[in-house]
């Protein structure tokens, strides 16, 4: 089953697949033709095509809609 929802920058999502660092939690950082997500375990950025993103998302832990946009690259 593919989860389709209104993706927003700042969304905190759980993916079906475990990242090599052991985390399944990602934050949406960029939305366009591709969707950029950042691993909350190791901080790695990944770009996914929309279809791949929606296929990979298991659930939305925290919608980012209430957060101000931009802030694409937060300082580490």
**1/28 Cα distance (integer angstroms):** 21
Query: Are 25 and 19 a contacting pair, CB within 8 Å?
Result: no
Query: Interface mask (CB under 5 A) for Zn ion, residues 29-68, using x and -?
Result: ----------x-xx--------------------------
**Closer CB to Zn ion, 52 or 65, in the complex:** 52
- Dump the DSSP string for 19-40: PTTS--EEEEEEESSEEEEEET
Tell the smallest beta-carbon distance from residue 33 to Zn ion (Å).
23
Residues that bind Zn ion (CB under 5 A): 19, 21, 23, 39, 41-42
């Amino acid at each position: 089953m593919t989860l389709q929802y209104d993706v927003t920058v700042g969304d905190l999502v759980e993916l079906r697949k475990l990242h090599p660092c052991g985390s399944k939690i990602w934050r949406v950082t960029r939305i366009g033709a591709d969707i950029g997500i950042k691993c909350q375990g190791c901080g790695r950025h990944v770009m996914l095509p929309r279809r791949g993103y929606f296929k990979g998302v298991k659930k939305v832990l925290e919608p980012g809609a209430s957060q101000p946009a931009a802030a694409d690259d937060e300082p580490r």
